């Protein structure tokens, strides 16, 4: 299902909708097309009686011309820009990488039961009291290495324009990784540099066509974490067991960055041109770093957890 405002200003128009005597007309179109290609590799192996290792990798590529039923269809900020022409909705102009497109997902995990304690390689004949202290330990780890999610550009707020659009691509280059420091916006990291043009507009300030940059053409920063857990089992009675857990999520506290600022109005108008914009910080507004990253993903910093379970 594709939701959109059927009476939104249309390309090449005067700023009014197709039905100028009406307000917003929310239409649900039971249509759209999508294509998905994928490759999955999975390996699960008992390396020894104490070690279980699992590796999984997925490569995929998803494309569509509809953002789905949970998108409002009103602009890039809601991942739902749907263009209207004098003939009606233009879904082909929305074709591109899907909002959920993620090319690479790699997960590796290992469960290692330490070979110490009664019946184990080390201390197999130790007494029960000592076994309760040094035996029954288990080490677990999960490593995630994922590529970034799609980012889409927006011309919303650019002077002398009326509706949101994608820009024309002139140049684009991702910036090499760099160390960050400080605690002010002056230290925001530039994720990409580039130059982008505003598509042609008519005398009413309406775009005459979509930008030539395809929807969700580029992706944001990836996701890289390592989790670690240490478990200890205790035998209380024949039917009752307890377990202590110490776990660390994102053990190395690796920053997981949000997607960069994709609004052209937060960048710099190229001197001598009213229709060309480049990345960087302008001198006004609270968000003034087109192409830069100013935050990390919510709740992705290192977290430590202690827990106790009783099973019976």
Residue ranges covered by each domain of the chain: 1-31+66-94, 32-65+95-311
Q: Which residues contact 181 (CB under 8 A, 6 or more apart)?
A: 187
Strand, helix or coil for residue 264: helix
In this predicted model, what pLDDT tens digit does every residue of 220-276 receive, in sequence order?
999 999 999 999 888 788 888 888 999 999 999 999 999 999 999 889 989 888 889
Residues of the chain with pLDDT under 50: 72-79
Listed residue (27, 4, 8, 11) closest to 19, CA to CA: 8
Residue located via tokens 């889409």? 152
pLDDT at 234: 83
Token pair for 69:
């039923």
Give residue for tokens 């775009």: 207
Which residues is 120 bridged to in the sheet? none
Q: Which stretches of 87-151 are DSSP H helices?
A: 128-134
By the 8 A CB rule, do 279 and 192 touch? yes
CB 29 within 8 A of CB 4: yes
Whose CA is closest to 61, among 282, 227, 216?
216
CB 208 within 8 A of CB 228: no
pLDDT number for residue 82: 87
Q: What is the CA radius of gyration of the chain?
A: 27
CA-nearest of 301, 277, 134 to 196 is 277
Between vectors from CA 54 to CA 47 and to CA 60, what angle results, nearest 5°? Answer: 150
| Chain length of the chain | 312
Q: Which residue blocks in the chain are alpha helix, DSSP H?
A: 128-134
Structure confidence at residue 135 (pLDDT): 79
What local confidence, expressed as pLDDT, does residue 76 receive? 46
- What residues have CB less than 8 Å from 158, skipping those under 6 apart? 198, 264, 265, 277
What does the pLDDT look like over 35-64, one tens digit per residue?
A: 999 999 999 998 887 899 999 999 999 999
Q: Cα separation of 50 and 294, whole Å?
A: 44
Per-residue pLDDT, 79: 43
Under DSSP, the state recorded for 297 is -
Query: Coil, helix or strand for 279?
Result: coil
pLDDT at 126: 76
Predicted local distance difference test score (pLDDT) of residue 39: 98
Sign of CA dihedral 164, 165, 168, 174: positive
Rounded to whole angstroms, how far apart are CA atoms 258 and 43? 31
């Amino acid at each position: 299902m594709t939701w959109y405002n059927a009476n939104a200003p249309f390309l090449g128009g005067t700023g009014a909708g197709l039905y100028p005597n009406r307000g917003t007309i929310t239409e649900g179109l039971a249509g759209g097309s999508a294509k998905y290609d994928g490759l999955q590799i999975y390996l699960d192996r008992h390396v020894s009686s104490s070690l279980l290792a699992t590796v999984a990798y997925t490569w995929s590529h998803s494309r569509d011309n509809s953002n789905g039923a949970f998108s409002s269809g009103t602009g890039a900020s809601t991942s739902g820009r749907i263009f209207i022409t004098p003939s009606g909705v233009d879904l082909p102009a929305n074709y591109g990488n899907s909002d959920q497109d993620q090319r690479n997902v790699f997960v590796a995990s290992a469960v290692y039961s330490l070979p110490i304690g009664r019946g184990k390689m080390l201390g197999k004949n130790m007494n029960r009291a000592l076994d309760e202290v040094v035996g029954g330990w288990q080490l677990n780890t999960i490593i995630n290495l994922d590529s970034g999610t799609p980012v889409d550009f927006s011309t919303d707020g650019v002077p002398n324009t009326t509706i949101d659009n994608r820009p024309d691509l002139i140049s684009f280059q991702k910036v090499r990784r760099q160390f960050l420091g400080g605690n002010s916006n002056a230290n925001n990291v530039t994720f990409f540099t580039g130059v982008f043009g505003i598509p042609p507009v008519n005398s009413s300030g309406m775009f005459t066509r979509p930008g030539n940059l395809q929807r969700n053409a580029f992706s944001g920063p990836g996701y890289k974490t390592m989790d670690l857990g240490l478990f200890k089992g205790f035998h209380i009675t024949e039917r009752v067991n307890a377990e202590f857990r110490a776990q660390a999520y994102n053990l190395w506290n690796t920053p997981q960055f949000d997607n960069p600022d994709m609004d052209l109005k937060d960048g710099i108008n190229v001197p001598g041109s009213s229709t060309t914009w480049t990345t960087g910080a302008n001198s006004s507004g609270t968000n003034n770093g087109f192409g830069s990253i100013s935050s990390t993903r919510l709740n992705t910093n290192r977290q430590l957890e202690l827990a106790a379970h009783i099973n019976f």
